[in-house]
């Protein structure tokens, strides 16, 4: 919700509202937009918060320190209210695959939410990294939430020429030149880069408009591929079924998914 605009217009977090995926995910209404939504949404995904309004006084969700940790702490400090309405899940029943060039994404049936992400950057400080993790509140807080976004100096300079990323700094991102990491404090994890890509993917998955139960696997896939995968899931009803918590989810599924 844009509280800074007349009539306080709002937009739903759904795949059809995604209008840009370059460097961040942007949602748009008829005459306004909200950018960099993925970090906040990833925290909501891990905490399974699916009924709330987010009120903003500008066109971008604050970057904070470039991770999802501040959002996670703020939500936990306020606390959550469990509602009586059963939560509906998108329960993956058949494999679904999407590729674009060398970028790949697919989902498989799984009793819970599992994420496997691989990145491969031709940079001496990144290279090929992989993470495989069952996602729940505990694993997200420990393994994913603190991972910061990252950017290459040449890309940041070009963005600033276009009037974008004006607030970008080493206080809210990992910066890299052609050879080195520029942040004097270094990394929070040896593989912080792929952990942040996992964070982004969880945020983009919220545009499915309901929590997913399945195994999401990504290879060199960013916001653009995630948006196309989510749209493909929605357009392929044979690959999933809608279930309600307590109706068809086994005790094992509840345990493994952390719900």
Q: Which residues have a catalytic role annotated?
A: 223
Contact 195, 135 (CB under 8 A): no
Helix-helix angle 38-47:192-205, to 10 degrees: 80
| Burial degree of 200 (CB within 10 A; 0-12, 13-18, 19+) | buried
Q: How many CB atoms lie within 10 A of CB 186?
A: 9
- Structural tokens at position 96: 């679904």
Q: How far apart are CA 192 and CA 2, in angstroms?
A: 32
What's the distance, CA 44 to chain centroid?
Answer: 10
- Three-state DSSP class for 104? strand
């Amino acid at each position: 919700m844009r509280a800074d605009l007349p009539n306080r217009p709002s937009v739903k977090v759904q795949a059809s509202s995604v209008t840009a995926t370059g460097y961040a995910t942007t949602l748009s209404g008829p005459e306004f937009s909200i950018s960099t939504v993925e970090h906040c949404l990833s925290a909501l995904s891990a905490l399974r918060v699916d009924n709330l309004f987010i009120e903003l006084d500008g066109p971008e969700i604050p970057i904070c320190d470039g991770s999802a940790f501040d959002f996670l702490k703020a939500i936990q400090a306020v606390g959550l209210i469990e509602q009586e309405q059963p939560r509906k899940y998108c329960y993956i029943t058949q494999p679904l695959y999407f590729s674009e060039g060398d970028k790949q994404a697919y989902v498989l049936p799984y009793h819970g939410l599992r994420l496997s992400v691989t990145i491969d950057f031709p940079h001496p400080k990144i290279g090929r990294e992989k993470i495989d993790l069952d996602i729940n509140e505990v694993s997200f807080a420990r393994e994913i939430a603190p991972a910061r976004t990252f950017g290459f100096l040449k890309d940041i300079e070009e963005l600033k020429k276009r009037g974008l990323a004006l607030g970008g700094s080493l206080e809210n991102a990992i910066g890299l030149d052609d050879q080195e990491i520029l942040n004097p404090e270094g990394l929070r994890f040896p593989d912080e880069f792929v952990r942040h890509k996992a964070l982004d993917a969880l945020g983009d998955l919220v545009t499915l408009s309901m929590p997913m139960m399945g195994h999401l696997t990504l290879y060199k896939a960013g916001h653009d591929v995630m948006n196309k995968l989510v749209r493909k899931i929605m357009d392929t009803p044979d690959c999933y079924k809608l279930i309600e918590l307590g109706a068809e989810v086994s005790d094992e599924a509840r345990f493994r998914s952390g719900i």
